Structure 1
């Protein structure tokens, strides 16, 4: 654990120091975000912040850890996904090219043993080995989370803060699996998660509202990719019945916001790839919250989901299932209330008046 704390502090310090340099380079290289109708900022902003997080993370890992095979695979994949994101920040890439880069980065993980090999049947407790299907599931999971974190990057500090909370939660869950249940292979994930937490804390100094630099695709895709890969490396290795669900709860904000966006657009007969302004952060702004208040509310929800994930990891299977049902009811009710479901199940106005789900 001391190595993880040292890595956290070093990653934070390096990111804090290099971010101003990355900011200057972003302007020099043309990696800037111009305001438009969908965005909430009103001036030219540098992106490419993911490069600062990447540098802080890499320096801390190489300086404080003795990386094994899996960690080297993660670092290689992170390098590719950061490069793809940086090229998009600077030059702009087509969605097809970005998706190809994401899939390639996910495939890099497989030869290094970063793969979902089995799941546990929550009813019988029987371990089900996935064989080649595990490779497909792994690639789908990594690409899905990569894009989900990318989609929530809509307010200053939002994706970075939510990812920081998720990384810290992964460290806590990994620690409980290691010390409480004696699960092997968690140490590397704990240290990696703490190092990512440190890098993000250093970056948030410049990214929290009012931001001086954005994550850009280099950052949002890097964070989604890294969190997804770390979940596979550690949290899914547990034989508990809820081991597959725990990472989904930890990453609940980006995964749910993306899922609701797909449902909302399908319900309105739009392309699921067509952007809109009905994500959670848009709706919180629409009901009158300030930029900073909206971000802090989402932080609080993310922290609540993180605490729920820790509890799921500690309780018996039947209690875990009951907690999941309660969480699902609360989430769907709240999502419908603020309008991010877009009328899929009908919504209620703040005054309690029912509004038709037809648009």
Structure 2
């Protein structure tokens, strides 16, 4: 398909989200869906409408029904994403424990697996035709781990106006070009819908924000992106394809991974909030909200370009380069204190 084929769905997603978000602001205020700052981690100082991600969910789901084939994977995606969204809505309004959040994510992941969305096999890049099949005993838990992991990475970086929406848009665009090159029409179209919807939400969410997407939106976007990565690249029989989405989602994946390791090393719960995320550190360096978000957009674009380049390499070359890139990122994480919590002087 030509790129122009995906332009109309992208524009529809953009315009519909642009149109529906003011309604989300109105109803959030009416129904008292408000984020009230309660601790020092919050960067806003007044109650803000929350749950704006519900509009993106409505738009993307509606356009999926129009543009995508009504097959089992689509119906399971719609059912599972609805579970994610309503758990997010409940959390935004009343609060939900981390354990219950994970439970809903696992249930949603199981629905995707029922729809045939799972990581099943990969090739040995250093052996000719060897294919390692992941029998269901391993395939299902690996798939659940991946879905829950990616779902939460977007949620955990949602700490500044426009950050999660912009990063999700950049990730969706990166995956758009990767999946389009692989001729995965349905997944590529979904990438266009996600990117368009995020772009339509940003005018209301970029600093100074008029509404937050909340867990409703952050968990939903993470969940949809996890679906895209599995259906788009991780069903390819090449272990290299495991690294492509990791790089495309570089900012949220590494920031979340480093946060979990850091908290563990400090004797804290891995789900305990702290101010050690990359955006907190950039703010501490003197950048304002807009500068911090734009800096992270730029880093995410670089990761996206790297992911697209890696996807075009031969398996062995791409694998070696991917490992080297990740090793460099880990060293940077150690040096800056992102992993250890202790910054080098």
Distance 2:279 2:335 in 1: 14
User: Residue in 1 aligned with 2:204?
Assistant: 206
User: Residue in 1 aligned with 2:117?
Assistant: 114
Could you give the per-residue CA deviations for residues 21-76 of structure 1, whole angstroms, max 9, x where no partner exists? 01111112221111121111111111101101111212222223333221221122
> How large is the Cα RMSD of the aligned pairs?
1.6
User: Residue in 2 aligned with 1:8?
Assistant: 10
Contact 1:12 1:56 in 2 (8 A): no
Larger mean Cα displacement after TM superposition, 33-42 or 236-245? 236-245
User: Residue in 2 aligned with 1:274?
Assistant: 272
In structure 2, list runs of 5 or more residues that go unmatched. Answer: none
Give the Å deviation of 1:342: 3.4
User: Residue in 1 aligned with 2:134?
Assistant: 130
User: Residue in 1 aligned with 2:20?
Assistant: 18
Larger mean Cα displacement after TM superposition, 55-64 or 249-258? 55-64
3-state SS of paired residue (1:348): coil
User: Residue in 2 aligned with 1:182?
Assistant: none
- Tell me which of 254, 257, 262 is aligned to 2:255: 257
Could you give the per-residue CA deviations for residues 149-206 of structure 1, whole angstroms, max 9, x where no partner exists? 111100111111111111111110011122xxxxxxx111000111111011000111
User: Residue in 1 aligned with 2:32?
Assistant: 30
- Tell me which of 32, 44, 48 is aligned to 2:51: 48
Contact 1:8 1:195 in 2 (8 A): yes
Distance 2:329 2:52 in 1: 31
Distance 2:202 2:123 in 1: 37
Give the Å deviation of 1:243: 1.1
Give the Å deviation of 1:322: 3.2
Query: Which aligned runs of 4 or more in structure 1 are off by greater than 6 angstroms?
Result: none
User: Residue in 1 aligned with 2:106?
Assistant: 103
Give the Å deviation of 1:13: 0.8
Larger mean Cα displacement after TM superposition, 154-163 or 56-65? 56-65
Give the Å deviation of 1:8: 0.9
Contact 2:51 2:214 in 1 (8 A): yes
Contact 2:243 2:322 in 1 (8 A): no
Distance 1:3 1:49 in 2: 28
Report whether the alignment pairs 1:158 with 2:153. no
Distance 2:157 2:104 in 1: 20
Contact 1:14 1:55 in 2 (8 A): no
- Tell me which of 123, 140, 147 is aligned to 2:152: 147
Larger mean Cα displacement after TM superposition, 107-116 or 2-11? 2-11
Give the Å deviation of 1:3: 4.3
Alignment length, in residue pairs?
Answer: 340
Distance 2:123 2:274 in 1: 37
Per the normalisation by structure 1, the TM-score is 0.91
Give the Å deviation of 1:261: 0.8
User: Residue in 2 aligned with 1:70?
Assistant: 73
Contact 1:11 1:59 in 2 (8 A): no
Per the normalisation by structure 2, the TM-score is 0.94
User: Residue in 2 aligned with 1:191?
Assistant: 189
Could you give the per-residue CA deviations for residues 199-250 of structure 1, whole angstroms, max 9, x where no partner exists? 1100011111111111100001001111001111121122233011111111
Give the Å deviation of 1:337: 4.4
User: Residue in 2 aligned with 1:354?
Assistant: none
Distance 1:15 1:280 in 2: 28
3-state SS of paired residue (1:194): helix
Give the Å deviation of 1:282: 0.3
Distance 1:113 1:187 in 2: 17
Report whether the alignment pairs 1:81 with 2:84. yes
- Tell me which of 208, 225, 228 is aligned to 1:227: 225
Distance 1:127 1:187 in 2: 26
In structure 1, list runs of 5 or more residues that go unmatched. Answer: 179-185, 350-359
Distance 1:3 1:218 in 2: 30
3-state SS of paired residue (1:278): coil
